[in-house]
Amino acid sequence: MTAAPAFELDWLGGWSERRLRRRRPGIDDLPWGTLDLGALAPDDVVEARRVWTNGVFTEYASAAAFANLTTALLECGAPVDLTAVAADVVVDELDHVELVARLVGELGGAVPYHYDVAQISQVTDPAATPLMRALELAVTVSCVGENLSVPALTRSRALATTPLVAAVLDRLLADEGPHAELGWRVLAWAGPRLTAAERARVGAIAVAAIASFAPLWQAPACATCQAPDLGVTPPDDHGALLRRAVRERVLARLARNAIPVDPAAVEPLLA
Ligand SMILES: [Fe+2]
Ligand SMILES: [Fe+2]
């Protein structure tokens, strides 16, 4: 088996950068150059480089996920305005890629990261209808994924003391609320079209998505893996916060949307 290629970013500049800046202004106004690495604990800087390098990748993966969702919404004839929101989120996520990558640069550069971006699209059930494919992506990416990331980012922001990290987190958080809302709007639109069996399938998709994130709170906590000043929350806080987010932000809203979830499947994940 050959190793995955290094995950690297490219930037063209010029015409495309100017157009992006018109659509998403303000990134150059953040307090770049203010991070005093010498005043921080070296271990904290190492941990922050590791976590924020992973953050660049997750933002890139989110851009791909919302691009996949946009295509799926087009393929099922979803409302044009709802589809436009999904497409706009793709640009938000690409803005976040730049933002977090620049922060990693200020922290001293990325740690090695390997991933074949040709594999980045989520494979949906090929036998599903176009509507169910869109719901699979909306539930996985937004209803679960983004609804876990919002409270995690909020907690990081509350603990961050360095102005640059705080400003980066503020810019991320300003966008992530709507990213977490979009999936619920897709589900509310699709709801009346779903059979009971399709509702049960959406519930099972949600449980599978929660299970895919469960290692984040089930893995043994690494006591030294934290750098609150730089946006890396202490691990114990993090696990409890994610479990609470699953209950309050995901399961409660699935119930409000009349999506059945099997407690025997989900409760062991939260134990
Ligand atoms: Fe993002
Ligand atoms: Fe997002």
Ligand nearest to the CA of 172: 1
Task: Supply the mean pLDDT for the chain.
Answer: 94
Q: How confident is the model at residue 231 (pLDDT cuts 50, 70, 90)?
A: confident
Q: Is the pLDDT of residue 46 over 60?
A: yes
User: 140 CA distance to ligand 1 centroid (A)?
Assistant: 15
> To which residue do tokens 């609150």 refer?
228
Ligand nearest to the CA of 141: 2
Which percentage of the chain shows pLDDT scores above 90?
85
- Helix, strand, coil percentages in the chain from 3-state DSSP, rounded to 5: 70, 0, 25
User: 1 CA distance to ligand 1 centroid (A)?
Assistant: 32
User: 230 CA distance to ligand 2 centroid (A)?
Assistant: 20
pLDDT given for residue 184 in this prediction? 98
Model pTM? 0.95
Write down the architecture of domain 39-116+129-270 according to CATH.
Answer: Up-down Bundle (1.20)
Task: Identify how many contiguous H helices and E strands the chain contains and give both numbers.
Answer: 11, 0
Q: In the predicted model, what is the mean pLDDT of residues 143-171?
A: 95
Ligand nearest to the CA of 181: 2
Q: Is the pLDDT of residue 1 over 60?
A: no
Please list the alpha-helical segments (H only) found in 76-126. 80-106
Reduced to 3 states, what is the DSSP secondary structure of residue 29? helix
User: 175 CA distance to ligand 2 centroid (A)?
Assistant: 7
| 236/173 Cα distance (integer angstroms) | 22
pLDDT given for residue 219 in this prediction? 79
User: 59 CA distance to ligand 1 centroid (A)?
Assistant: 5
